[in-house]
């Protein structure tokens, strides 16, 4: 077994922020990876989602999940972070990457890693796959009080494209949860606004060449929006990663890249 190595770090705590549509158990292997490298880790469940994914699907439609909003979810994670003895490293996937950026803007992070992050307000893409993958969840022609559950065919396109059928099916069973249409809609209003000119903690954006849901070009546009020249902002695109990047067989390579990036940050 590889021996854990200790480094001087900006923080020894990592908070993993889950994205929409999936259970926080998506971070289980990541927690073990970083704990073996002497980090303390947390991967809090979202409000109303502290149950196995299969249980949450059985409750569909769920009015409590349907009521979730971006501002309250951001405040929920801000409260968790504020209770920690030191500012943590924040690692967020998809919508969790957007929440991460909002928390970094509030000065609540020692560093942030946005993995295939949903874009803040004002960042756009013309990629058709982005609109195809996300249109159903917006639910403009369905009651907002009814939570949205992605179909298996939608899951195959948005999350697990390029994987074999058995892998797609197992991931769907293990991770898929109902989602709030209002929350998805909130990502295009002021609740998702970032002041890109403001100084910020070090930020790393990670993208995947095969991601239909959040194209790498959208992550790159997000990265390029940050304008403070005295703040560290980095970008890395990995080949072959889809939106299910956290559980693809290649996930340890992504995790190792993050660990190395963190270990090489200048101490604040």
Q: Please give the residue range of the domain that contains residue 179.
A: 13-263
How far apart CA 228 and CA 199 sit, in angstroms, is: 6
State residue 8's pLDDT score.
Answer: 62
Please state at what angle helix 28-35 crosses helix 251-263, rounded to 10 degrees: 40
How far apart CA 228 and CA 226 sit, in angstroms, is: 6
- CATH number, domain at 159? 3.40.50.1820
The answer to whether residue 1 is domain-embedded is no
The answer to whether residue 88 is domain-embedded is yes
Yes or no: say if 179 and 112 are a contact pair by the CB < 8 Å rule: no
Greater pLDDT, 39 or 130: 39
Whole-structure pTM value: 0.95
Q: Give the percent of the chain with pLDDT over 70.
A: 96
The answer to whether residue 4 is domain-embedded is no
- Per-residue pLDDT, averaged over 76-94, amounts to 98
Please give the sequence-ordered ranges of beta strands (E in DSSP) within the chain, or none if there are none. 13-17, 40-42, 89-93, 111-115, 203-208, 233-238
Structure confidence by residue, pLDDT tens digits, 46-65: 999 999 999 999 999 999 99
The answer to whether residue 8 is domain-embedded is no
The answer to whether residue 217 is domain-embedded is yes
Among residues 58, 31, 11, the alpha carbon closest in space to that of 262 is found at 11
Indicate the length of the chain as a whole number: 268
Domain count, the chain: 1
DSSP letter string, 179-210: B-HHHHHHTTSGGG---TTS--S-EEEEEETT
Structure confidence by residue, pLDDT tens digits, 242-253: 999 999 999 999
- Per-residue pLDDT, averaged over 14-39, amounts to 98
Yes or no: say if 258 and 204 are a contact pair by the CB < 8 Å rule: yes
């Amino acid at each position: 077994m590889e021996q854990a190595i200790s480094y001087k770090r900006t923080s020894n705590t990592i908070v993993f922020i889950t994205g929409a549509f999936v259970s926080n158990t998506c971070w289980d292997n990541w927690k073990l990876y970083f704990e073996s490298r002497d980090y303390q880790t947390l991967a809090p469940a979202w409000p109303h989602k502290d149950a196995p994914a299969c249980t949450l699907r059985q409750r569909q439609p769920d009015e409590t999940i349907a009521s979730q909003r971006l501002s309250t979810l951001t405040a929920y994670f801000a409260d968790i972070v504020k209770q920690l003895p030191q500012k943590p490293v924040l690692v967020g996937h998809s919508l969790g990457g957007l929440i991460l950026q909002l928390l970094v803007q509030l000065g609540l992070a020692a560093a942030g890693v946005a993995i295939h992050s949903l874009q803040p307000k004002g960042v756009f893409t013309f990629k058709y796959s982005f609109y195809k993958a996300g249109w159903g969840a917006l639910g403009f022609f369905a009651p907002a009080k009814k939570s949205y559950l992605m179909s298996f065919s939608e899951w195959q396109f948005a999350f697990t494209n390029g994987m074999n059928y058995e892998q797609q099916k197992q991931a769907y069973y293990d991770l898929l949860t109902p989602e709030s249409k209002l929350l998805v809609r909130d990502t295009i209003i002021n609740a998702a606004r970032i002041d890109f000119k403001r100084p910020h903690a070090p930020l790393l954006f990670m993208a995947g060449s095969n991601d239909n849901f959040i194209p790498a070009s959208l992550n790159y546009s997000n990265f390029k929006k940050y304008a403070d020249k005295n703040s560290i902002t980095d970008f890395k695109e990995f080949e072959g990663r889809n939106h299910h990047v956290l559980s693809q067989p290649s996930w340890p390579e992504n995790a190792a890249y993050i660990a190395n990036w963190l270990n090489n940050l200048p101490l604040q």
